[in-house]
Amino acid sequence: MRRILTALWLCVLAAPLHAGVYSTVDPVPGPIPDETGKIQPMPLDYFRDKLGDRIGLLRDPAQLNPGDPPLPEATLKRRQDYEAKATALQRKVRAGGTIDDQLNLSAYLIGLGKHQDAIHLLEPLARGEGRANFMVLSNLATAYQLAGQPERVADYLQQARDCWPDKLSGLSDAQLKFYRQADRLQLRLVLLRKVEAAKMPAGQRRPADSVDALFGEPDAPVKFVGESGQYEAGAIAAREKAKLPKDATALVQQLALWLPDDTRLYWHLGELLNADGQIAEAYTVLDECVGGGRRYDVPELKEHRRVLQEGLPKPPPPPPLFADPRKAALIAGGAALLVGLLGFFQIRELLRRRSRTVGAKDG
């Protein structure tokens, strides 16, 4: 089943757009509906590959530090392809290109980490002929968010929400609904962090102590605890699980693909995987949040990783050597025969040496 789903996700590369960062020609893959129309989260290994590719595209090879690992060859080629397409679109835009040309150019610029360039491109468009285009507004909001300028993000996401279409060519109703939910979740994320920032003392920035309250009511968000009230490996309390939408994991995967450097969001994905009973997958995500290049250093994350590590499935013990009496008898008999043969040959060799010694003396 996993191989079939992976093949389906490879097919999404031909889809006409991708929510959050829109393009009509070269979308970023994300969760897609299965044969029943239900949106399925991506298998973790496949998702991590795509997330790693998104992160790699943001890294300019010319600006890497001396100790940084080189970018994979596939990422370098993809970045070169993005740069070539962006250059071609820039020429078209300067010559009076269409809204789609500007939209697609902004998607390449965002993918390459050139967020300010995307903002400068889209701001005039959002105030003019693109002010009712939800893709233009969503791209602009994401560019602001990735650039670390959250002041305008919520405004543009709200405007995109207000002009969201009921139908869109190339997308099923399930996909369009899912993308709208994802955009709403992005808006909630931005508003939550805006409130957090307002409460933080001026000039003080530190990693947040827990994941964002993305699901549940604002005054009663989901708590990733078991029935005991404590964090548990592979479990979540029924009352907390009831607060999660059915597409929670897929939605957070989608947000993470839009915001690939957001470790706190990636941590949230790990908690959802654990709530779904996927302990090994959840541990992989939390371990990457703590180590690797992310280095998210907060006590709760480290404690959850410890609990998951202890809860990892243990390898089955080897079968007892003498569990079968017949095999035990055969093994014991064979061992006795081997010992007897070795003893026989050793005694024979000693007698032979003694015989030669006595013969030499007689001679």
pLDDT digits over 92-130, tens only? 999 998 999 999 999 999 999 999 999 999 999 999 999
DSSP string, 172-195: -HHHHHHHHHHHHHHHHHHHHHHH
- Identify the pLDDT of residue 322: 52
DSSP class of residue 131 equals T
Looking at residue 104, its pLDDT comes to 94
Q: What is the pLDDT of residue 88?
A: 96
pLDDT category, 25, cuts 50, 70, 90? Answer: confident
Q: Work out the number of other CB atoms within 10 angstroms of the CB of residue 278.
A: 17
CA distance 316 to 318: 6
Q: What is the pLDDT of residues 218-273, one digit of tens each?
A: 899 999 999 999 999 999 999 999 999 999 999 999 999 988 989 999 999 999 99
Contacts of 87 (CB under 8 A, 6+ apart): none
Model confidence pLDDT, tens digit, residues 299-358: 999 999 999 999 998 877 766 655 566 766 676 677 777 767 776 667 776 677 666 665
Percent of the chain with pLDDT over 90: 48
Q: What is the mean pLDDT of the chain?
A: 84
- What phi and psi values does residue 245 have, to the nearest 5 degrees? -70, 160
Average pLDDT over residues 45-72: 86
Q: Is 240:223 a contact under the CB 8 Å cutoff?
A: yes
The number of beta carbons lying within 10 Å of the beta carbon of residue 335 is: 10
Reference 135, options 175, 164, 166; nearest CA is: 164
% pLDDT > 70, the chain: 83
Class of domain 1-200: mainly alpha
- Does the pTM of the predicted model rise above 0.85? no
For the segment 46-74, the average pLDDT, to the nearest whole number, is 86
Domain at 210-315, CATH class: mainly alpha
Interatomic CA distance for residues 49 and 194, integer angstroms? 30
Compute the Cα dihedral for 11, 12, 16, 22 and give only its sign: negative
294 in helix, strand or coil?
A: coil
Kindly list the domain boundaries of the chain, sorted by start residue.
1-200, 210-315
Mean pLDDT of the 191-218 span: 87
Q: Which residues pair with 39 in a beta bridge?
A: 33
150 has a pLDDT exceeding 90: no
Q: What are residue 228's phi and psi, to 5 degrees?
A: -75, -15
Neighbouring CB atoms inside 10 A of 103's CB total 25
Per-residue pLDDT at 189 exceeds 70 = yes
Distance in angstroms between the alpha carbons of the first and the last residue of the chain: 85
Q: Are 253 and 45 in contact (CB under 8 A)?
A: no
| CA 150 to chain centroid | 23
CB-count burial class (<10 Å; 0-12, 13-18, 19+) for 273 = buried
Tokens of 7: 């093949």
